Structure 1
Amino acid sequence: MAPDTKPILADPDVSPNGVLGDFRVPDLFRDLPDAVIVANVERRIVWVNPAFESLFGYSLQELTGELTKDLYAEAEVYTEMCQGRYGTMPAPSDHSYEVRYRRKSGKTFLTQTTGGPIRNPAGDTLGFFAIIKDISKTRAYEELLHRLFHISSDQSMESTAKVQAILKLGCAHFQTDSGLVSWVRDDRYTVLYNYSDLVDIARGTTFSLGDTYCSEVMKSNAPLACHSARKSNFSTHSCYDLFLLETYIGVPLIVDGTLFGTLNFSSPEERHPFEPGDLEMIKMFAAWIGQQLSFEKATNQLPIQS
Structure 2
Amino acid sequence: MTPSISLGDIRIPDLFRDLPDAVIVADENQRISWVNPALQDMFGYSLEELAGQTTKNLYADHQNYEEQRNGRFSLTASQRGHTYDMRYRRKNGKAFLSQTTGGPIRDKDDFILGYFAIIKDISKTRAFEDLLHSLFHISSDQDKDATQKIQEIMKLGCEHFQTDSGLVSWVHDGIYTILYSYSDLVDIPRGTTFPLGETYCSEMLSGNGPLACHSARHSKFAAHPCYDLFLLETYIGVPLIVDGKLFGTLNFTSPDERHPFEDGDLEVIKMFAAWIGQQLSFEKATNQLPQPGQPAPT
TM-score clears 0.5 = yes
Residue 6 of structure 2 aligns to a residue whose secondary structure is: coil
Contact 1:12–1:46 (Cα < 8 Å) also in 2? no
- Structure 1 residue 189 displacement after superposition: 0.7
Q: Does residue 1:16 correspond to 2:3, yes or no? A: no
Pairwise CA distance, 1:93: 3.8
| In 1: Cα distance, 2:5 partner to 2:175 partner | 70
Is 1:128 the counterpart of 2:110? The answer is no
Runs of 5+ unmatched residues, structure 2: 294-298
TM-score by length of 2: 0.94
Shift of 1:305: 4.2
Pairwise CA RMSD: 1.4
Return the offset for 1:80: 2.1
Cα distance in 1 for partners of 2:225, 2:150 equals: 28
The residue correspondences of 1:194-273 to structure 2 (distance < 5 A) are 194-273=181-260
Residues 117-167 of structure 1, C-alpha deviation per residue, up to 9 Å, x if partnerless? 111222210100111010001101110110011001001011111111111
Within 5 Å, which residues of 2 pair with 1:1-306? 12-18=3-9, 20=10, 24-306=11-293
- What amino acid maps onto 1:13 in structure 2? S
2:5·2:34 contact (CA, 8 Å) conserved in 1?
no
Give the C-alpha shift of residue 304 in structure 1: 4.5
Measure, in 2, the Cα distance between the counterparts of 1:288 and 1:90. Answer: 48
Question: Aligned partners of 1:204 and 1:271: how far apart in 2?
Answer: 29
Structure 1, unaligned stretches of length 5 or more? 1-10
Separation in structure 2 between the aligned mates of residue 197 and residue 303 of structure 1, nearest angstrom: 27
Deviations 1:153-197 (A, max 9, x none): 001011111111111110010000100000111211110001011
User: SS of 2:159's equivalent?
Assistant: helix
CA drift of 1:27 comes to 2.5
* Cα offset, 1:76, TM superposition: 2.1
Counterpart code for 2:280: L
Contact between 2:7 and 2:114, CA under 8 Å: does it hold in 1?
no
Shift of 1:102: 1.1
Amino acid aligned to 2:8: N
Which shifted more, 151-160 or 236-245?
A: 236-245
Aligned equivalents of 1:272 and 1:35: distance in 2? 24
Q: How far 1:303 sits from its partner (Å)?
A: 4.2
Q: Helix, strand or coil for the counterpart of 2:257? A: coil
TM-score using structure 1 length: 0.92
Task: Give 1:116 deviation, angstroms.
Answer: 1.2
Q: Deviations over 1:39-94 (max 9, x none)?
A: 01221111111111111111111111111122111222222223332233544441
CA distance in 2, matches of 1:50, 1:89: 30
Measured at CA, do residues 295 and 80 of structure 1 come closer, stay the same or move farther in structure 2, by a change above 3 Å?
Answer: same
**Contact 1:204–1:303 at 8 Å: present in 2 too?**
no
Taking the aligned partners of 1:194 and 1:35, their CA distance within structure 2 comes to 42
Q: Retained in 2: the 8 A contact 1:225–1:274?
A: yes
Count of paired positions: 292
